[in-house]
Structure 1
């Protein structure tokens, strides 16, 4: 990973290469399917590049990657009000840790929507203060890392 003789894009792709090898091994063992090694290497390199680009943050002209080390401990709450503003129902929950803030916000929103659906509420307004979450919902193809949550 620190070999400066190899270009940065390829060094960053090493974890994806290892993961691709593991997935291909499982496909071969359990489904008797094997893809071309050239195709697998290309896919791993592409996924690595995409992930690294999407996880850059600019600060003072410099770019750095998000620190995904510490999990986000999150919780959520919702409240319903009628047309007069009177409180109807409410709930709160502590959610499982998330790897980053955006996935924590997505999990919270999904919990709210599932709760309201389970109560058979057909018309709701949801307030969200996260611009990144709104962007991810409006344009999910630009957020492949969160594909399973946005689906």
Structure 2
């Protein structure tokens, strides 16, 4: 089940009962495989439901269900991206790197890391990243184009598609990889 399907289930609007809304999302969680975007979005949906409930009760306004789902998806994605940068930093710290450059094609992630005061909702994750950054001599966070990492993305897709493991690249990798690396090296000369 996708987040869009959740929207259609909620298209009549949220109930004023927090318990009813919570139960609906828990029922959806039981139906969804653990890896789906629904599972990752549920905490953000719950938070949005709570905020919408307060808006109804205290400000006599409310967001549309589609807007609530959209915001929850955006917040879940950004939270995941920030968490991945934290994991990357822990990994390079454990490998005893001193100078680190971390790049992302997700511009909001780089914006949040660069200006944490503008992103108070993610304060905990951003403080964790800031603390990790202090364990390096130099850390740079950069935004990059999706095309910059096309080879890495294609490797990841092929590993997932064919169920390959760590030895996949250690054994030489697929022929297409060598051809792509050769072409890219020739372009950069």
Query: Would the TM-score normalized by the shorter structure come out above 0.5?
Result: no
TM-score between the two structures when normalised by the length of structure 1: 0.39
TM-score between the two structures when normalised by the length of structure 2: 0.32
Structure 1 or 2: more strand by fraction: 1
Structure 1 or 2: more helix by fraction: 2
